[in-house]
Amino acid sequence: MSQPESRIEPGMTTDFRQRMSYGDYLGLDLLLSAQKPLSDAPDEPLFITIHQVQELWLKLCVHEIDGAIAAIRKDELSPAFKSLARVSRIQSQLVAAWDVLSTMTPADYLAFRPSLGESSGFQSWQYRALEFRLGAKDPRMLAVHKHHPAAHALLEKAYREPSLYDEAILLLARRGLPVPAACTARDWREPHGFDAGLRDVWLGVYRDTRGHFDLYELAEELVDIEDQFQQWRFRHMKTVERIIGFKTGTGGSSGVQFLKTALERRFFPELWDLRGQL
């Protein structure tokens, strides 16, 4: 019986005893051993994998947002646009992940839910870091991470520094646009609130896209990110409702009701309000 033709080409490396392999570079032994179910329930590996993958995507989102912030500070918008566009694409992956998790039925989840103890996605410090960088700052959220000094320090730094939107507003002011002083000379620890004067500045950008095209593009990149973020929040809320109904969350929250409150919050309120003024 003839052997099938080998797909190994003459130039391919097959001996990795002294070379770095694909698995070595990606740390696959560590990555693939990180799924440690605490029950025999067949759907617990799905639950763990989905959340671990989301944490990896969140880590990359934070990295890209940091890059965008640094670029905007230097008035280098092209690399900022690249980073922000990438964040939007990552967010589409995060949204799609809920479709996979929603294949888990209520009975499937209840089979291992007791194993979660008081752990909850609410405690994700990478998610909180992303929210802080987008401007949704709440000092009470820091308390959840006091047990993890490195995570607490990272969040404290993000809490005290200007957010992505703050940097965009400061850029408007550097360009000579009449940004209200209250939007640029303020305590960065406080969340940004809607300002009609700032809305009018952005409105001027949208009414003269030819003269302010890079600022217009920046604004639309920000809107893309918030749009995707809201879609993620909505799918999260509906997936939780589908699986546990209106039960209390494992971390002690009100569950679906808690998630619904986030749907009313805006990161960049002026960029949404101006649409009704055009």
- 3-state secondary structure at position 161: coil
Q: Strand runs (DSSP E) across the chain, as ranges?
A: none
3: left (phi over 0), alpha (psi -120 to 50) or beta: beta
Please state, in angstroms and rounded to a whole number, the distance separating the CA atoms of residues 148 and 252: 20
Q: Which amino acid is at 20?
A: M
48 is in an annotated binding site: yes
148 is in an annotated binding site: no
243 is in an annotated binding site: no
Tokens representing 2 are 């003839």
239 is in an annotated binding site: no
Please state, in angstroms and rounded to a whole number, the distance separating the CA atoms of residues 249 and 16: 47
- Closest among 124, 236, 184 to 132, alpha carbons compared: 124
244 is in an annotated binding site: no
51 is in an annotated binding site: yes
Please state, in angstroms and rounded to a whole number, the distance separating the CA atoms of residues 221 and 126: 21
Tokens representing 123 are 């405690």
Burial of 40 (0-12, 13-18, 19+ CB in 10 A): exposed
47 is in an annotated binding site: yes
How far is the CA of 183 from the CAs of 2, 70, 208, 275, in angstroms? 76, 19, 22, 20
- Binding-site residues: 47-51, 109, 113, 236, 250
- Binding-site residues for substrate: 47-51, 109, 113, 250
- Binding-site residues for heme: 236
